[in-house]
Structure 1
Amino acid sequence: MTLHQQAASPWLTIVGIGEDGRAGLSPAASAALDAAEVVWGGRRHLALAAPLSAEAHLWPSPISDAYETILARRGRPTCLLATGDPFHYGIGAEIARLVPPAEIRAYPQPSAFSLAAARLGWPIAETACLTLHGRALTRIVPALQPGARLLVLSWDGTTPAAVAALLVERGFARSRLTVLEAMGGPHERIFVSEAVAFASDRKIEPLNTLAIEVVAEPGARVLPLATGLDDGWFENDGQLTKAEIRAVTLSALAPFAGALLWDVGAGAGSIAIEWCLRHPANRALAIEARSDRAERIGRNCENLGVPERVSIVEGPAPAALAGLAPPDAVFIGGGISRSGVLAACRDALRSSGRLVANAVTLEGEAALLAMFSEMGGSLRRLSVAKAAPVGGLTGWRQAMPVTQWVWTKP
């Protein structure tokens, strides 16, 4: 669904409405609402905007089911109602992908983040703003840094208690939670509790925003910001790119914002997960032949807060690679010696993309040497030794050396 030719004038109005309803709208927003032939919104939005002279439509589930009907009205006055700022996790951003900006008039209200920051006296520029509306609870995990302030859009009234339980479980029990309900309206209510004391049976309005002042207790599971997370962060069966090699590998892959990675032979999914932790817009496809390992990748993604950004593709490469979205970077950690894997990854890679492959077997190393000879790039051997008991003394225990090939597609 796209519009290629621009209409003569704006026909689609997006109005942000607050808990104060019509009284909070600007004269221009009210006029646009009154001029519309059709108004779309949630049940709460339509009630706040009443009385309406236009034909009113409730958003379907999923909301995208309405887009075709809205686009079919092109050129006729149509209004969409949203909460607060329609372009901050709202309908505005979705519609703007389908309708040229010149055909839209938008009248935003203060977002829930702005209202909450004003109530708390928090500078938004120094606060992490997240949403859990329609998203996995654990996506909050990377943001749980000591001393951090978070503003979080809740999914419904159960979200604050669920977040409090997660904080306690991960060692942030003394974190201060502020629940801000129905901000800007006659039923606004604010209450504060430490996570450990949060009453799980407290009735909370579905429309609420959660403010968190993160307090890390000794031993809290704080996710480090550096690459090469300790191996203990990942559930694994031994099929894991170890921390030191992983740090070098991530550096070689050179992640950038919004990039897609293929993690081929993903094992525990550590490379895909750390790729996504580098930036919230990064995505990864973890390709894994074994179903038990694919399930394990899913658990690791959940535990480390990236369950929606790592997609698991179960099946052996190269067959499992067919039809996948072209990657900006590829890591091959398993199956290098299998016929066609390296070539398939090389061919699928976008222009200027990076391919990094690690091998520990002679057969895998031979495949990398052949590619290096044919395609160029850089080749290096990585070796790590760790101190370990030797009888009653201590000595160096050498891990298997890793041969790594790095290539950038012209």
Structure 2
Amino acid sequence: MNKIYVIGAGVEGQEGFSRRSLELIGKADILFGGERQLQLFPEFAGEKVVIGSNLSGIVERLNSRKGLAVVLASGDPLFFGVGRMLLRNLDKDALEFLPNVSSVQYAFAKIKEPWDDTVFVSAHGRGLKGAVDRIVSNDKAAILTDDVNTPAAIAAELIERGRDGYTAYLCENLGGADERIRNIDLHGLLKIKAAPLNVLILIKQFEAAGDEYVPTLGIPDEEFATIKKLITKEEIRVVTLAKLKLRHDMCLWDVGAGSGSVSIEADHLLPNGRIFAMERNEQCLGFIKQNLNKFNTRHVTLVPGEAPDCFEDLPDPDRVFIGGSGGNLFDILDAVDARLPAEGRIVINAITLETLTAATEYFDNAGYQVEVTTVNISRTRPLTEYKMFEAYNPVYIIVGVKN
């Protein structure tokens, strides 16, 4: 069979190619590659074809090839490279891959960090928010940026989410005469216009060994930064999470997040899911950012705004928790009902009979299965001579299951 050889170019020019790769390139009748790769072989006698934006044209040329064809790619062709496109459009048996050291491998070697525990993110095509969602879900990330989703833009989005606890390595023009690697924090990245050819490495920083939060159910209330009384109490939080019946890959909406305590508790219950904490109060938003950072949440996205207006750009939920409605309960429930699938659950925490009545009335009229649990909590008072109980207001936990 007349094979197509897909050969990775390393960061060291021709010196980085294996002997077999150089022999195949020397024998080739047609050589495909980006302008930078083709410039490595100025004396190539055959036809050179630049791989640009017209990838369909490249596939047609490869399908109608005569003689030996070689495709040059950067590093490992199957690592965010042209290899995926070729496998999707050509006969797999016609392809042979000869990988080289990728820019990401080279970058980690330069900064002297292991990379076997790294998540790899390409901002190209995924978009800024999608890329940052993956970054905050991990402790170490290598990001391939583009002209729009630049290192500065990624840093700005992380800072906006209150996730500035990363050290950054901006690795530019790797392998070239103008190679530069800068170790900087996210705020410093905001001021830098990075070279077009760059790899951004972000590593989550912890204050000291053992300071990372270990998930437990029922985080003490005093651990959260919050406005007084705008927090779902520890015991209520645990019962609420039980009523939500979360599975590992669900999408949870937390409406009226307050301190973000429910989202933070749910974070480790949804290792493959997504959580959107919605809040309109500016002071609460500041506290939520502090809490998300403190507890190193991985799957929570803060959504500032008024419900239900802020629902529009969110993925459909599997579960919805409403801790505060700002007087818009019916509008919120109507908007949620339009997006919630069958068997989806809504859990509402109410402290007034008016909210209890309104919620149960809505669920009954909309054909939901309804369950209400009243939770009365009393705790012993700390630092008193005698053990006396202090009672908290009862909370009505209302569960609506969509038929």
Q: TM-score range by the shorter chain?
A: 0.5 to 0.7
| TM-score under structure 2 length normalisation | 0.60
CA distance in 1, matches of 2:41, 2:241: 51
Is the 8 Å Cα contact of residues 252 and 317 (structure 2) preserved in structure 1?
yes
User: Do the aligned partners of residues 248 and 86 (structure 1) sit closer, same or farther apart at CA in structure 2, a change above 3 Å counting?
Assistant: farther
User: Do the aligned partners of residues 75 and 320 (structure 1) sit closer, same or farther apart at CA in structure 2, a change above 3 Å counting?
Assistant: same
Secondary structure, aligned partner of 2:282:
helix
Report Cα offsets for 1:114-137 as digits up to 9, x if no partner.
779999999987x45466987899
For residue 50 of structure 2, the aligned residue among 52, 55, 64 is: 55
Partner of 1:341: 332
Partner of 2:402: 409
- Which stretches in structure 2 are left out of the alignment for 5+ residues? 64-69, 186-194
CA distance in 1, matches of 2:261, 2:6: 42
CA distance in 2, matches of 1:250, 1:81: 53
Identity of matched residues, %: 25
Secondary structure, aligned partner of 1:286:
strand
Secondary structure, aligned partner of 1:381:
strand
For residue 10 of structure 2, the aligned residue among 2, 11, 18 is: 18
Partner of 2:305: 314
Q: How far apart are residue 384 of structure 1 and its match?
A: 3.4
Is the 8 Å Cα contact of residues 275 and 299 (structure 2) preserved in structure 1?
no
Secondary structure, aligned partner of 1:267:
coil
Secondary structure, aligned partner of 1:261:
strand
Q: How far apart are residue 87 of structure 1 and its match?
A: 5.5
Is the 8 Å Cα contact of residues 113 and 129 (structure 1) preserved in structure 2?
no
Q: How far apart are residue 248 of structure 1 and its match?
A: 3.5
User: Do the aligned partners of residues 214 and 44 (structure 1) sit closer, same or farther apart at CA in structure 2, a change above 3 Å counting?
Assistant: farther
Q: Is 2:67 aligned against 1:75?
A: no
Secondary structure, aligned partner of 1:363:
helix
Is the 8 Å Cα contact of residues 268 and 296 (structure 1) preserved in structure 2?
no
| TM-score under structure 1 length normalisation | 0.59
Partner of 1:327: 317
Q: Is 2:353 aligned against 1:362?
A: yes
**Larger radius of gyration between Structure 1 and Structure 2:** 2
Q: Is 2:380 aligned against 1:381?
A: no
CA distance in 2, matches of 1:112, 1:230: 45
Q: How far apart are residue 301 of structure 1 and its match?
A: 7.1
Secondary structure, aligned partner of 2:329:
coil
Partner of 2:282: 292
CA distance in 1, matches of 2:376, 2:37: 61
AA aligned to 1:351 is A
- Which stretches in structure 1 are left out of the alignment for 5+ residues? 1-9, 58-65, 145-149, 196-204
CA distance in 1, matches of 2:27, 2:319: 47
AA aligned to 1:310 is T
For residue 239 of structure 2, the aligned residue among 233, 245, 248 is: 248
Partner of 1:60: none
AA aligned to 1:296 is G
AA aligned to 1:55 is V
Is the 8 Å Cα contact of residues 276 and 310 (structure 1) preserved in structure 2?
no
CA distance in 2, matches of 1:208, 1:323: 30
For residue 393 of structure 2, the aligned residue among 384, 400, 405 is: 400
Structure 1 segment 149-160 matched on structure 2, within 5 A: none
For residue 226 of structure 1, the aligned residue among 216, 227, 240 is: 216
Q: CA RMSD in A?
A: 6.0
Structure 1 segment 139-178 matched on structure 2, within 5 A: none
Partner of 1:200: none
Q: How far apart are residue 255 of structure 1 and its match?
A: 3.9
Is the 8 Å Cα contact of residues 138 and 303 (structure 1) preserved in structure 2?
no
Q: How far apart are residue 310 of structure 1 and its match?
A: 1.2
